[in-house]
Structure formats: structure tokens, C-alpha cells
Structure 1
Amino acid sequence: MLRLVYIILLTLFASGLCEEQFCSADSADFCKNNESDNQKLYTKATNEGYQKYLTMIQDAEQNHKECNNIKNSCFSDVIRRDLSPFKKKGISEEMIVAAKTRGTFYQIIGGKLYREKDCMFPARCAGIEHFLLKVIGNLSDMDLIINTRDYPQSSEYFGNAMPIFSFSKTSQYYDIMYPAWAFWEGGPAISLYPRGLDRWDRHRKLLNKSSSDIPWEKKENKGFFRGSRTSSERDNLVLLSRNKPHLVDAQYTKNQAWKSDEDTLHAAPASEVSLESHCTYKYLFNFRGVAASFRHKHLFLCHSVVFHVGDEWTEFYYYAMKPWIHYIPVSKNADQKELEDLIEFARNNDDLAKKIAYRGRDFIWNNLRMLDITKFWKQLLKSYGKLLTYKPVLKKSLVQIEKKQ
């Protein structure tokens, strides 16, 4: 009899260790999933309306293999894809001259960095130059056109591909994606961050601490969004929040163009909220801005589920992140009913939601370190340099950019 009791207690203790169903990389030694565990998750939902979501998760998991960013393997496909339009004929000096008005002109000559005197956004140029100076040592001589605007510059609807570097684009653009300046400097400025978002390496640590202070079980069981009304794609979530505040807290803040409450969908603008405060909620919504959203990578570090709206606008690392594996995908045209269904699905499948949240966090934490950003820049420029069909000559009008002391 005592032996039977001991076995029962041992079984309960073992199951308790794995009750989370998913363990982050930090706790992988303590908990492992198996097929029967996953099957229990998929049979939890009694509402047949959730079956389509469960099926998409199951299909995604069966076809997914997590990347490991050794030798930048997570993102090398992006470099090949973006440079492919120039592979056959190469990049000529005439192409560079034609593209000069679309961005800031740089030269790398003899292991030194040069730039045209004026930069449209000095902080953005500084954020780019930080990484260029870190990788410049072993690079061949090259000319670069780096776009510091939010919007890409080389559209497939307006002629041949132009060798222009941009931080974000859609599939309709030829631009070559590079890691945004905001990883180091020049991020968006709001009242909470008047000089722009802080460096990514610092924010990583702050968000990691915030997520540790608020474990999954203590997060508010609702969606959350704060941001300005950059586009009407955000309206339905804000309206849902007004109709069903127990499901989501989504409000508009002021932006530089704000003139009246009409610009915040006929309501007084809400106060801005720090990124760390986002970690209080289980479900965080990410919308594009003018291009891809700078908050995207930050949200994942909260150990919260990211509801990523739309799939058109991308940054270089987006392609390695998979829907239903690392985030919950949301149509950019989702109406209030669809948004409500997705939130309710997450609320009623807490184990699955947590699993997606932790996988998304681990991807960003493990594969988007400052080291990974530097490695991407180096691989990108080495591959780009091989495509130049001419030998660049230093332009006398340029100024040398040196490392800051």
C-alpha cells in the first residue's frame, strides 16, 4: 500500500514539473514534451470554432525546424534573396550613380569609411556607421547607397533593380535589407524616449528583467496596444477595446500630426507606455508603422504572445520567424469578430499560448544579439562587395567617418 502511494506521489510530482507544457531554453533540462503531451493540448478546446487554429499550429509544428544562428545561418537566405537581382550582371558604377539621390552615399576604401558631408538623419547615420566601422577591417573597396528614410526606394514597378540598402520593405521592392540603425542609435522618439529608443543591447536586458519579474501566470489575461494612428489597420482593435475592454486594452496616443481627438478616433489620446510595462499583459499586438514597426523585436522579450498584424512589411530577421510557432498571425484586414476570436482562442488555450510566447522570446533572445547584428552586416557587405564590377575610387568631396571615443 505504501509503495502504491509513493508511486502516485512521484507521478504527480513529475507531472507538476512539466505542467507548463513548454520550457524555454533556460529550463529545457527540467521539462521535455512528448507526443502525448502535445495531443492533450490539441484536444483541450471544446469549441469547434478553434479547430482551424489548432490545425494550423499542428501543421506549423510538423514542418518546422528551429534555426540556430551559428555562422549567421538563420538569416543567410535573406542576403542571397536580396542580392539575387544583381547576381547575373553585377553592380556597375552607372547603377550606383543612378541611385545616389535615393540615399546617403558611402565609400569603403582601404579599410576606412567615408560619407558624403550631409546626412538627412544624423542619428540614423550614426547608428549605421557604428556597425560599418566594426566590420570594415576585412572588406573590399566598395560604394554604398544606404537609405535612411523609413520607406524603401527601388520598386519593381519603376524600372530595374537599384542597389539601395533599406531597413524594411515589401516583396514589391528590390531594396537590400540591412539591420535598422535603431539597433544602436536613431530609434523613434516619443515623450518617454525623447532621444529615441535606447540601444538594443540595453533594452534586451531591461525587458528580460521585466519579463522575469512578471511570470506568465501573473500577467493580465488580455490584449494590449499603445501607439499612434499611423494607419486605419489599427482601428478595429481600438474599437474592440472600447466595446469589450475585458478582452483588450488598445488606445491611440498622439503623434506629431495630431490636431484633435478626431486624429485618435474621436477619443482623447492615451498616455504613452514604456516597453517594460507591456510585459504586464499576455497578448501584445504589433502593427506596421510607415514601414515595419520598431517595437516588433522588443515585444517578444516580454515572454508574452505577439499578435503580429499583416505580413507585407518585413525586416531582415522576419523570414526566420514562423506564424503559429513564434507568434500568432493576424490579417491586416481583421474585423472586430476575427480579433475577438483570436484573443478568446489564446485565453482558452493557455498552454498553447504560453508555448508560442516562449518560443518567440527564445528566438529573439538567442538569435538577435548585437553579435548577430554585426555578423549579418559583415556577411551582407562581403557578399555585396563581390558583385561590384568596377574598382571604386575615393571621391574628394567625402568626409572620413571615425570611431567615436
Structure 2
Amino acid sequence: MGRRRLDKSTGVLIYVQNPKNGSSCAVVSKKKYSLQSSQKIQYSLNCTDATKPQTCPKDYPRMFQPTDLHATECPEYFRWIHEDLQAWKSTGITKEMVERTRDFAHYRLVILKGRVYVEHFRKPYQTRDVGTIWGIVQLLRLYPGKIPDLELMFYCNDQPMIMKNDYQGPNATLPPPLFRFCGNQSAFDITFPDWSFWGWAEINIGPWESTVRAIRQNSERIEWNNKVPYAYWKGNTGVAATRRDLMKCNATSGQDWKAHLYHQEWSLEVSQGFKQSKLEDQCTHRYKIYVEGEAWSVSEKYIMACNSMTLMVKPEFLDFFTRGMIPLEHYWPIRPDNKCRDIKFAVEWGNNHPQEAQVIGESGSKFMEEGLKMKNVYDYMFHLLTGYGKLLTYKPEIPPGATEYCTETMACPAKGLFRKNMLESMVKSPSDSPPCALPSPYEQGELQAFLGRKESVSRQVERWEAKYWEKMNKN
């Protein structure tokens, strides 16, 4: 006979056997079990007295055995993790490489034994740093004991910093690693999920899971044939010339480019309580336009979740999931230098081929809802950080003056929508299943074939459009 006890600090079930033959000693054996739901670790938020500094608990679980040991295959876009880390695959990453980005990185983040420490260098726009750090803290709660010790630098602005042209030639040094929210073909920057997956309080956007659910539900209330047969876009035109150029495509009495375009005045929205900027209310059109801002825009995932056919103005910058999408399967390609004519043709084509257009719209939305579910976002972070950590050639240390971050130190003092978003997106317990299985890297020529396929589809659309305008001009 004996009894079982759950060691909450490790997630290990301890079996204590009763002593035999009057012995005063008990036999204690530790064994990892597939814990049943009644034994599952549940995280609690332990906030101290507001008059005292909030500290991180010392008893976070260091490991956990999931109940389901089967790992599903990660989505195809996870293969880009190998590409983003390729520059350091044969050499590893030294401390000197990491330090070279200190002059412009916004913060240094260190993970040691499952705990997070941050050294802040400069304040980014709004709370981009806070949102991303919160996401990493939640990742460690989802997969306790699984993330290796590591040190990284994070840059929160939009433009790329580590340009490939600066690291070419016989005397070129190796590029320093720098994490950022988007990348492009001309930069070595490592692409990481953006802060808005855990909410964007400054503009009244909640965490991704509840937001995409609300968008989907509102979109499905309107039948495709009852949606406005025009393209729709609403956003801040002040951040980029390409957006101001887009506004020239607005439908007018003199020229109907089949687009309804609106400038979003965020300062007015803030003062009026965000009455005109709810994302779930912007799914009334059959077609929605995505156009970049200063670089990539977080609006992309919300636009594509609308179940409308997305008209994507060819982006220069790509976030971590966009690289897995294919034109005519997930979106309709629009040329940056031919926006108005391309948009008009896309809308006309869709209105003449409603079933095909609806399928593209639904496929893009499915990619957002299923391919970009939060489990996949966390798994992408897991594999990227794990792969990056393995490349470090030195043992990270806690930086002098660094701040330890955890759920308690971030959520307990938070107020208003910031606190609401944190409580909603807080990981409540370790994952029931392991991270998905990372696909193998692209083989030689395979990536170029994939990119060539996407380009070929875009060229096909251009040929269709050329015939359309040729016919229109004859009439």
C-alpha cells in the first residue's frame, strides 16, 4: 500500500510506499506519469499587496509530462525557421556577434533555467516590447523546462537593420543576429511573432484568439451574395506613401475603381471610444485590401480572417506566417505600381466568378483561423528559440541591472485593457500535447521552386488582366 503526491514544482507524481516489517523508513519513487485532468497543473495569479513590490514565484514547474505524446506536423511555413537561422548554422553565434546590435536594439532578453530577464536599452513605440515579452513568458508556462538557456537582442521598429549587402565580399564579417517582427529578402533579421497576438491595448484590440473568433462570427452573418461587391480598406494613410497612393483608387462619380477606401484617424477613435474601428464590423465587403505601412502591418491577419477575398498589394516585408501563403489559393495579388487597375480587375473577376472568389476568401480565412491558431504561434516561437539557443557558443548570464519578468510582475500591476488582455491571454496550465514536429529544411533548389511557383501564379493573373483591359479598350 502507499500514497501518491504531486510535486507541483516539477510536475512529477511521487509515489510513497508504506514501510514494511515495521521499518521506520518509507520508499519514495519518482516517476513521470501522463497526468489525468484532475492532476493537471493549474497556474494561479498570485498578486501581493499593492503597497509591496511584486516578485516572481519561486515554485514554477520545471518540467511537465503532457497527456498526449503525439506530435502533429507543423504547418509548412515553419520551414522558414531554418532559413532565418541559416546564416549562423556552420559558425554558431558568439557573444561578440550578439553585442554588436546593442546600439540600436530596444532590449536584451535572457532565458536561464526557465526564467526571463530583460535589460532595456531604449523605449520602443507604445508597448511593443511589453507585448512580446509577455508572449515569451507565456511560452515558458506552456512548455516549462523545454526552452534552452539563451540570450537575444530584439528590435521593435518596422524597418530592417541587418542588411545582407553589408556582409558581402572577401573581408565581410558574419552578421549579428537580431530579432524583429518582419523580414525581407534583403535582410538577415530573424522574424518573430508580433506583440498583437496577445492584444494591442492602445487601439482597443484584444488577444488574437477572441478577436479572430469575433471576426469570423460577424463575417458569417452575411451571405457572400449579400456582401458589398466592392473592395474595402480602412487604415492610417499617414504612415506610408503606398497607402496614400491607394486612396487614389477610391470610387468616385468620375471613375469607379470598385474600391471603398477610408482613412482611419486613430486620435479621434481614442477620444470617441473606438466606435468606428471594431475589426469584426469591417467584414461587410466581398473583397478586402491589404497594403503595407512603414513595413509589414499587423492588420494583415485581421483582414484575411474576414472570409472575404483578400487583395494583397505585393508586400516588400513578410511576417513569419505570410511566407507560407500562395496567390489564388489564399489571396489575390495586386501590383504596387498598378493598384487601381489591378483592384478593379480583381473585383470584376470575382463578381463574374463568385464561387471561385468565395473559395479564395474562405481559404485565406481558414489559414488564419487554423494555420495561425495560438498553439501554432507558440510552437513557432518554441522551435525558433530552441534552434537559436542551440547556435549560441557561450553560456548566457543575467545582465547587470536586468529585470526579471514573469506573469505576476507583468499582470498584477497592469491596469485597464492592458490587464484585461493579459488575463485573457494568460496560459492557465502547461500544454496537454508536445510542440508540433518541425518540418525539415528546404532542399537545394526547393525553396526557389516554391518562390517561382508563387511568381508564376502572379504572372498568370497579370496575363488575365491584360486581356481584360484589351477587351475593355476595344469596347
TM range (shorter): 0.7 to 0.9
Cα distance between partner residues in 1 of 2:343 and 2:368: 25
| Preserved contact between residue 257 and residue 341 of structure 2 (Cα < 8 Å) | no
CA offsets, 1:183-217, max 9 Å, x none?
11447x4xxx3xx4221112112101111211212
**Which residue does 1:251 correspond to in 2?**
262
Q: Which ranges of structure 1 fall in alignment gaps of 5 or more residues?
A: 1-68, 257-270
Please show how residues 82-97 of structure 1 align to structure 2 within 5 Å. 82-97=84-99
Provide the aligned length of Structure 1 versus Structure 2.
318
Please show how residues 61-210 of structure 1 align to structure 2 within 5 Å. 70-103=72-105, 104-117=107-120, 120-121=123-124, 123-136=127-140, 137-159=145-167, 160-186=174-200, 189=202, 193=203, 196-210=204-218
Aligned pair in 2 of structure 1 residues 150, 353: CA closer, same or farther (>3 Å)?
same
Cα distance between partner residues in 1 of 2:381 and 2:402: 22
**CA-CA distance at 1:245 after TM superposition:** 4.8
CA offsets, 1:48-70, max 9 Å, x none?
xxxxxxxxxxxxxxxxxxxxx93
**CA-CA distance at 1:247 after TM superposition:** 1.9
Code of the aligned partner of 1:114: Y
CA offsets, 1:258-282, max 9 Å, x none?
xxxxxxxxxxxxx954322221000
Cα distance between partner residues in 1 of 2:108 and 2:199: 19
**Which residue does 2:340 correspond to in 1?**
336
| Preserved contact between residue 279 and residue 304 of structure 1 (Cα < 8 Å) | yes
Cα distance between partner residues in 2 of 1:335 and 1:392: 48
**CA-CA distance at 1:235 after TM superposition:** 4.3
Cα distance between partner residues in 1 of 2:373 and 2:129: 21
Q: 1:281 aligns with which of 277, 280, 285?
A: 285
Q: Is 1:315 matched with 2:319? A: yes
Q: Which ranges of structure 2 fall in alignment gaps of 5 or more residues?
A: 1-70, 168-173, 268-274, 413-475
Which protein has the larger Cα radius of gyration, Structure 1 or Structure 2?
A: 2
CA offsets, 1:324-363, max 9 Å, x none?
1000011111143333222211121111111101111111
**CA-CA distance at 1:87 after TM superposition:** 0.6
**CA-CA distance at 1:73 after TM superposition:** 3.3
CA offsets, 1:285-333, max 9 Å, x none?
0100111111111112211010010132100001111111000011111
Q: 1:232 aligns with which of 236, 241, 256?
A: 241
Aligned pair in 2 of structure 1 residues 254, 135: CA closer, same or farther (>3 Å)?
closer
Code of the aligned partner of 1:95: M
Cα distance between partner residues in 2 of 1:400 and 1:246: 53
**Which residue does 1:45 correspond to in 2?**
none
RMSD: 2.2
Q: 1:381 aligns with which of 372, 381, 385?
A: 385
Identify the range of structure 1 (311-320 vs 246-255) with the bigger mean alpha-carbon deviation.
246-255
Identical pairs, percent? 23
Secondary structure of residue in 2 paired with 1:75: helix
Cα distance between partner residues in 2 of 1:225 and 1:361: 17
**CA-CA distance at 1:255 after TM superposition:** 6.1
Q: Is the helix fraction higher in 1 or 2?
A: 1
| Preserved contact between residue 181 and residue 319 of structure 2 (Cα < 8 Å) | yes
| Preserved contact between residue 75 and residue 376 of structure 1 (Cα < 8 Å) | no
Aligned pair in 2 of structure 1 residues 249, 111: CA closer, same or farther (>3 Å)?
same
**Which residue does 1:219 correspond to in 2?**
227
Secondary structure of residue in 2 paired with 1:386: helix
Cα distance between partner residues in 1 of 2:257 and 2:164: 44
Cα distance between partner residues in 2 of 1:356 and 1:95: 43
Cα distance between partner residues in 1 of 2:78 and 2:162: 21
| Preserved contact between residue 166 and residue 178 of structure 1 (Cα < 8 Å) | yes
State the TM-score, normalizing by the size of structure 2: 0.63
State the TM-score, normalizing by the size of structure 1: 0.73
Aligned pair in 2 of structure 1 residues 236, 163: CA closer, same or farther (>3 Å)?
closer
Aligned pair in 2 of structure 1 residues 72, 119: CA closer, same or farther (>3 Å)?
farther
